[in-house]
Structure 1
Amino acid sequence: MLLPPVASLAVLGVLSLITFLAYSSQILLLYLEPHPLERKQIIIFNVLVFCLLLSYIRSVRTNAGQIPSVDQHEDDSTGISQKLASKSRQRWCRRCEAVKPPRAHHCKVCKRCIPKMDHHCPWTANCVSHVTFPHFIRFLFYAVATMSYLEYFLYIRCAVIWGNKDLPSYFGPTIVQYVHLFLLISVNSLTLFVLTILLIRNIWCLTVNTTTIEGWEIERHSTLVRRARHFGGFLDGPDGIRVRIKRQEFPYDIGIWANTKQGMGTGNILAWFWPLSASPSIESGLTFEENGFEDPSISWPPPDPDRLQCKSIPAPRHGSGFTQDGPDYSAEESKKAFKLRQEADMLRWQRPEDQVQRRKPYVKRLEALQEPSEWSSDAAGDDQTSDSGEEGWRNSEGERLRDFGVDEDAEFYDEEDNIPLSELIARRKGR
């Protein structure tokens, strides 16, 4: 797998960092008190370094996977079409011109849909996916273990130097050795701190069976539920349709042990730590066991008005195409409600180049539609939504989907709902 120049530089940078910390430190420790590393310590340390390098190389070189291109008539051999048919909402990627299985996303860097995509990691120049996640978490584990061991060695030498601070300078290390020691401590401590947090987070995601992207989706869903509560359980989608929003449980958390087996690709605990363990198969990342808390026909992610396509919809059986019937709607109130939904829809679907003001919170924006002067006078914005529409929504950490490597256009504009299998077969034949 050839890497683009920028990605190659990132990988080269990581390998250089590992080399600096792992091998230059062993040279320095030969000359520092209280004594050089013992034979046993050298063996353990270098075994950890070897496991670290091997896990990192596999994280970089292993294909993150792609959705198999299988004739729709042959889908029954894998059971994919039958399981997708049971869902109320099927997902279609126009970029790949293929069905998008559950938990898959289109990566803007890899240019394809990745099964159970977690994120695109710039430091491995590869997607962390159903296939590469075991290698990635082993890389983090051995990185933390190796640097923790090195931190122990450096701490002992620093304690000796501090204890001899009153002795003449010629009894201690040279200036070059002092600088080298300072760089090792600074770089190793900072990197260890960052990777420890990342390892803990990934272990938590492994045990609850969520990806980084799904964590974003869960937070987004909670936001929509809070918004819908303000409007009686409904939010407005494109073309004046109303979408019912209710709290939906995450379906893929099936228990700590089952989650871990699924994420690591095996139930063999020794294989979890073995750098040469086999990668999970792509086929096992196309469908996933669910916990049964929700109706099997309900799919994840939950309904999101801003993910719906603008499309022509038939006029209601009662009333005109410009009104919406309801128990509490008069003719004028129905027309006014439709106009508000239409104006809100125009705001939601404005593209980045068309919208110059930062946006208010969702509810306040709808309320401000009745007072245009209030909307135009406030350019500061006070929520986490960027100026690029609802698809630019950010979570509590300020992250958008594109920050995880997801192609936002494919995720928000290239998904269609309720695609019949006959249509999928027709599209497949027409290519």
Structure 2
Amino acid sequence: MKWQRFLSIPIFAVFLLMGFVYYVTLFVSIEDWVGLRSSDGSFHASVFSFLAFYSLFSFFVCVLTDPGRVPSSYVPDVEDRELSDQEFRRNVKHQRKCEICSTYKPQRCHHCRTCRRCVLRMDHHCQWINNCVGYWNYKAFFILVFFATVASIYSMVIFIACVLQKDWKVWGQSHLKLFYVVCGTPVLGLSMILGSLLCWHIYLMANNMTTIEYYGGVRARWLARKSGQGYRHPFNLGVYRNVTSVLGPNMLKWFLPAAVGHLKDGSSFRIAHDTRQIT
């Protein structure tokens, strides 16, 4: 069952970390800075609570959404559908075939050894959501990283403001300083880690790449330069089309993690400078 995915130590660790950051932000940083009961404190608490709970919602969508299975009826397209059975088999035997699943798989599809199956447009397997990041949940994953990053940076700014306004001549006891170090270190570290991850996936989305395709492209680019040729990622359609292929054409639904009605079956993708579909 999908809910069994939550029975994972990394997921428990995520919940603990989110709860810790939420507690520190509201009941340490905001309380010591302006007070939770003040108008400013209520405003900052409300904004941070929205960011935190929207991150949590996106996290649930990532965990519970199947990243994409190859249809059992999937067969690679061939140019001539009127070929005999023998000719057809000869034509498709060179198509991409999973050596583990022993089935044909679409382009951009890869086998996950952790999930023990092929995943459509697989980006990577993420232990923190106990699930693969693939065709159907990549949007939710990106939104999760985006809102978690914004929430972490917001928490970091509040924490810094709280520290700067304290009179350390009065509150400068060593145990209090240690308390703030313990509270602030995870917040600062999380902001940097999530910020780097967000920048990475913005780059991937802008170029219509997955993490797997990026590292495959590094080798392809090296081989192309070695032979005196150029290389371009075949699925790069331009920044706007690349973004809308993930988030959707309706900007009002860009930050709705479950709004994936614009996605098709995940077995074919448009190639750059071409109107054909590749499978």
Q: Quick one: distance in 2 between partners of 1:254 and 1:103? A: 15
Distance 1:173 1:269, change over 3 A: farther
Sort the Cα spacing of 1:225 and 1:192 in 2 relative to 1 into closer, same or farther, 3 A.
same
For 2:12, the equivalent position in structure 1 comes to: 12
Structure 1 CA distance for aligned equivalents of residues 33 and 6 of structure 2 = 45
Mapping of residues 156-175 of structure 1, within 5 Å: 156-161=161-166, 164-167=167-170, 172=171
Pairs within 5 Å for 1:16-415: 16-29=16-29, 31-36=31-36, 38-70=41-73, 72=75, 81-82=77-78, 90-161=95-166, 164-167=167-170, 172=171, 178-226=177-225, 247-264=230-247, 266-278=248-260, 281=263, 283=265, 285-292=266-273
Measured after TM superposition, the shift of residue 224 of structure 1 is 2.8
Rounded to whole Å, the distance in 1 between the matches of 2:193 and 2:226 is 35
In structure 1, how many angstroms separate the alpha carbons of the residues matched to 2:94 and 2:120?
18
In structure 2, relative to structure 1, the CA distance for the partners of 1:84 and 1:120 (3 Å cut) is farther
Name structure 1 gaps, 5 residues minimum: 73-79, 230-245, 301-431
Amino acid of the structure 1 residue aligned with 2:21? L
Q: Deviations over 1:124-153 (max 9, x none)?
A: 221111111101110111111111111121
Using the size of structure 1 for normalisation, the TM-score is 0.56
CA contact (8 A) 2:62 2:129 kept: yes
Letter of the structure 1 residue corresponding to residue 59 of structure 2: Y
* Alpha-carbon distance in structure 2 between the residues aligned to 1:92 and 1:62: 25
Superposed CA RMSD: 3.0
Q: 1:17 to 1:286 in 2, by over 3 A?
A: same
Tell me, in whole angstroms, the C-alpha distance in 2 between the residues paired with 1:71 and 1:279: 21
Q: CA deviation at 1:203?
A: 0.7
User: Would the aligned equivalents of 1:134 and 1:279 in 2 still touch at CA under 8 Å?
Assistant: no
Q: Equivalents in 2 of 1:185, 1:101: separation in Å?
A: 46
Task: Say if 1:131 and 1:279, in contact at 8 Å, map to a contact too.
Answer: no
CA shift, 1:23, in A, is 2.4
CA distance in 2: counterparts of 1:275 and 1:248, whole angstroms: 33
Question: Residue 101 of structure 1 contacts residue 287 of structure 1 at CA under 8 Å; is this kept in 2?
Answer: yes
Partner SS, residue 127 of structure 1: strand
Q: Shift of the alpha carbon at 1:14?
A: 1.1
Question: Which secondary structure does the structure 1 equivalent of 2:270 belong to?
Answer: coil
Per-residue deviation, residues 289-321 of structure 1 (Å, max 9, x unmatched): 01137xx79x89xxxxxxxxxxxxxxxxxxxxx
- Distance across 2 between alignment mates of 1:40 and 1:30: 10
Which sections of structure 2, spanning at least 5 residues, go unmatched? 82-90
Does structure 2 retain, via aligned residues, the 8 Å contact 1:131–1:282? no
Structure whose CA Rg is larger: 1
Tell me if the contact between 2:138 and 2:246 (Cα under 8 Å) persists in the aligned partners: yes
Change over 3 Å in CA distance of 1:191–1:269 after alignment to 2: same
Alpha-carbon spacing, 1:137–1:105, altered in 2? closer, same or farther (3 Å): same
Change in Cα spacing, 1:4 to 1:28, as seen in structure 2 (3 Å) is closer
Overall identity of the aligned pairs, in %: 24
1-side partners of 2:26 and 2:176: how far apart?
12
- Partner Cα distance (2:116, 2:232) in 1: 30
CA distance in 2, matches of 1:30, 1:259: 39
How has the CA–CA distance of structure 1 residues 275 and 224 changed in structure 2, closer, same or farther, with 3 Å as cutoff? Answer: closer
Distance 1:275 1:65, change over 3 A: closer
Q: How far 1:3 sits from its partner (Å)? A: 3.2
- Output the TM-score relative to the length of structure 2: 0.83
Deviations 1:304-358 (A, max 9, x none): xxxxxxxxxxxxxxxxxxxxxxxxxxxxxxxxxxxxxxxxxxxxxxxxxxxxxxx
